[in-house]
Structure 1
Amino acid sequence: MDAKKVSASKITISELMLPSHTNFSGKIHGGYILMLMDQIAFASASKYSATYCVTASVDTVDFLNPIEVGELVTLKASVNYVGNSSMIVGIRVISENIQTGTVKHCNSSYFTMVAKDSTGKNVTVPPLVLSNMDEVRRFCNAAKLIAQKKEHDQHVETFDYSSPEALEGLKQYRIKLEL
C-alpha cells in the first residue's frame, strides 16, 4: 500500500451561521458545531483512506469562544496520525465577523476515525508521509494522546473504587456518602 501525504487529507469548509443554528442564549449551538466537526472528520478520513469511515471517539472538545449569528465559521481538518485502520483527524474551528474581519479561534479537537469496507470490517489505511515539522508535531501530539488514553483505560480497569483509601479520598469533594 502506497503511503500518502497529510495534504491528501486536508479539507476546509465554511458556513454562514444562521438564526436557526442558535441555542436559547442566542449563540450558535455547540451541538451544531459538533455536527459540522463530525462531517469534516468523516470527509478528511474518507478522502485519505479512499473508503467509508466511522467515528470511533471524540477527544477533548473545548468551546473557547462563542460564535454569533452572521459569523462565517471555517473548519479545517487533516489526518494527523494513522494506525492500522484508524486515523486521528485534527480539527480547528474559527469564526470570522464578516463585517469587521475579526477572527476568533473557537474550538480544536481530535476525532478518531476508523476505515471500513462494505461489510463493516476494518480495513488497513495507507501509511502517513510527514513533510514538515508542523506535521511531525501534530503526529507526536496524537501519539501522546493515544498513550494517555491507554494509560487512563488501564487505570480505570485496575482502580478499586470501594477500597477504604478511595472512599476516604472522596471527602475532599462536595458530596455526602450514604452507603
Structure 2
Amino acid sequence: MTELDDVPVPKGQLTLQLAATRQHTNAHGDIPAGWLVSLMDQAAEWTASREAMGRTATVAIEGMDFLCPVRVGSLVCVYTEVRDIGHSSIKIDVEVWIRSLQDAEDADLHKVTEARHVMVALDDNGRIRGVRSDA
C-alpha cells in the first residue's frame, strides 16, 4: 500500500496542545480567532526563546488565513518550525491543526491556519540583542 504524497501533514514540532473548551468561547459560543493567535504566539515564543537562549518578543506575524472553524471539544495542536535565524531575529512558521477529542489518537488532523512569526531576541533591559552569543 502506497501513501499519497498530497495528504497534508503538520510541519515542524508539536509545541503546544490544548483542548478547546467552553471557557475559550466568545459571547456567541464560538472559539475566536484571537484565542488561536494567542496560542500561536505563545508557541512561537517558546521556540524562539529556546533558540535565543533567553527572552524574545514578537515583532511581526506574516500572512494568516483561517481554513476551518474550531469547535468546542477540539484538540488544538500547534506546530512550530524555525525557518531562519538572523543576527537578532528568528522567523518561525507556526501551524494550527485540530482533531476531535472523541476521535482516536490516530484520527485525521485538520489544518486551521498558519503564519510566520518574526521574533527578536531581547536582553534583560528589553533591548534587542544578538540571537547567538557569538553573533
Is the shorter-chain TM-score for this pair beyond 0.5, marking a shared fold?
yes
Alignment size in residue pairs: 119
Question: Is it true that 1:122 corresponds to 2:125 in the alignment?
Answer: no
Give the CA RMSD over aligned residues. Answer: 1.9
Aligned 8 A contact 1:10 1:44 in 2: no
Equivalent runs, 1:53-72 vs 2, <5 Å:
53-72=56-75
Distance 1:82 1:113 in 2: 10
Question: Is it true that 1:79 corresponds to 2:82 in the alignment?
Answer: yes
Distance 1:105 1:120 in 2: 35
2:97 maps to which residue?
A: 94
After superposition, the C-alpha distances for 1:90-139 in whole angstroms (9 at most, x for unaligned) are 1010000122334210011111000011122221124xxxxxxxxxxxxx
Aligned 8 A contact 1:85 1:115 in 2: yes
For the residue of structure 1 that corresponds to 2:36, the secondary structure is: helix
Which amino acid letter does the alignment assign opposite residue 13 of structure 1? L
Q: Which has the higher strand share?
A: 2
Q: Which runs of 5+ in 1 are unaligned?
A: 1-8, 127-179
**Post-superposition, which runs of at least 4 consecutive aligned residues in structure 1 deviate over 4 A?**
none
How far is 1:12 from its partner?
1.4
Cα distance, 1:10–1:105 mapped onto 2, change above 3 Å: closer
Q: Which runs of 5+ in 2 are unaligned?
A: 1-11
1:111 maps to which residue?
A: 117
1:174 maps to which residue?
A: none
Aligned 8 A contact 1:10 1:79 in 2: no
1:153 maps to which residue?
A: none
Aligned 8 A contact 1:11 1:78 in 2: no
Aligned 8 A contact 2:95 2:114 in 1: yes
After superposition, the C-alpha distances for 1:140-164 in whole angstroms (9 at most, x for unaligned) are xxxxxxxxxxxxxxxxxxxxxxxxx
Percent of aligned positions with the same letter in both sequences? 30
Aligned 8 A contact 1:11 1:44 in 2: no
Computing the radius of gyration over CA atoms, which structure comes out larger, 1 or 2? 1
Distance 1:119 1:40 in 2: 23
